Amino acid sequence: MDDYKNAILININDNVATVLDTIKKNDKVNVMFNNQNIKKIIALDDIDLYHKIAIKDINKGNEIIKYGEVIGKAVDNIMAGQLAHVSNIESVRVRLKLKV
């Protein structure tokens, strides 16, 4: 039986998952949602524990979605299996107006 590393999808609309194991390039990754295996991908990068892995191709300028929310925009094309991190994501910050 092949050994798979695990990643968890928080919201079904997310395009990144959180890895639950330290991942090495070319590792097989099983993406889980609600305790069900929904996708298998090959890691294209080494990815540290609890960091994000793209579960589908994300074009430059497209939104990065985690928790069902936009957390950033891709500054480069990100392929499924790649690390999704500050090197290829620009954070989207929410500016709140405070009443003084």
Q: Tell me the domains of the chain and their CATH numbers.
A: 5-91 (2.30.130.110)
pLDDT of residue 94: 62
Q: Is the backbone of residue 67 left (phi > 0), alpha (psi -120 to 50) or beta?
A: left
Separation of CA 73 from chain center: 12
Residue pLDDT, tens place only, 76-99: 999 999 999 999 999 987 665 666
Residue range 25-45: mean pLDDT, rounded: 97
Find out whether 38 and 15 touch, Cβ atoms under 8 Å: no
Residue range 60-83: mean pLDDT, rounded: 97
User: pTM for this structure?
Assistant: 0.88
Residue range 35-57: mean pLDDT, rounded: 98
Rounded to the nearest 10 degrees, how much is the dihedral formed by the CA atoms of 37, 11, 85, 59? 90
**pLDDT at position 1 over 60:** no
